[in-house]
Structure 1
Amino acid sequence: MMNKKGLYFSLFTFNFLLLFFSCSRLPDVQGKGETFLQGVWNQDSIANQSQLQNYVKHHFKFTCDSFYVDFTTHSKVNYYEEECFNNGVWEEHAKGTYQVRNDTLILVGDFTKSNYKQKVSGCYRNGRYVSSFKVNSWNAEKLELENLSDQTEVKLNLKEKITCVQKAL
């Protein structure tokens, strides 16, 4: 019969070994991402844009599992202080990582300055950027998304193909 110290030591050893062998170390490189997204994509036009009160054009860059996005907003309505309204045209930027789950593209990152460094204050949005798009269709030169927050179409054209070269984290 085992004494209490021996029983505790055996349980501790068993739990330690179980924990040690059940964990796996994450790789120290970024993920590969989705091959079909790799590249620079531009939204060149928006249907009926002249009749809209406001609209946003997107410019995406997908490289490995990372994304960079530039938004150009055109608005006839001033939502901001006058120095931020900029005659109804302004740019915002974000970067982060993405995942594709089934037919959904999920982007999680932060709003940034134009150089993709963290933005903590100033005009327009700052903080976390989280957005989801349904991938309606894609081929080698076109990508059609639907913004799941407002159901707007985002039709993108491939401007430059990129091959993922994973970088160390």
Structure 2
Amino acid sequence: MPVMQPTLTTADYAQLLSHLHAVVHPLEAQLLTLGLPNVFDLQRRTKAALLRRDLTWFPAVPTLPSVPATLAGVAEGLGALYVLEGATLGGQVISRHLHHTLGLTPERGGAYFFGYGSSTRQMWQTFSHAMNQWVPQDDQLRVIAGAHSTFQLFEHRLQELLS
């Protein structure tokens, strides 16, 4: 992602947020309809609101059309959630970079990448434990398919930034 470039500008960052929101918002909306087991604490893990909050710091950025998510069921949804939760780990590094290069903080345009802050490791461990305990072996390929399709959604949307 271009977010780690030392030449990143606030305009570049705002565009990235808009592209991410176009994927994360519809994806989380669909996840909320799938009836994921409560052990995954989905309400606490959604981050589209953080993206919307960050975007308020950059009012000139146009809203992009949503990228529709097509998750076939709970197993695929867990794969998508795996991708979203995994991104919070990398977000910690990105958050520090954004603070250093653009002066962003969780309160001032950097909430999405800050994620859970100091609780990120614990949230990941809780999620990972739930995945290991809850996902039956028969569903593992569908979970992987959900993760793969989610990566493709992000790749498709973010390619526009690189072209």
**TM-score range with shorter-chain normalisation?**
under 0.3
Whichever structure has more strand as a proportion of its residues is 1
Which has the higher relative contact order, 1 or 2, with Cα contacts under 8 A spaced 6 or more apart?
2
Computing the radius of gyration from Cα coordinates, the structure with the larger value is 1
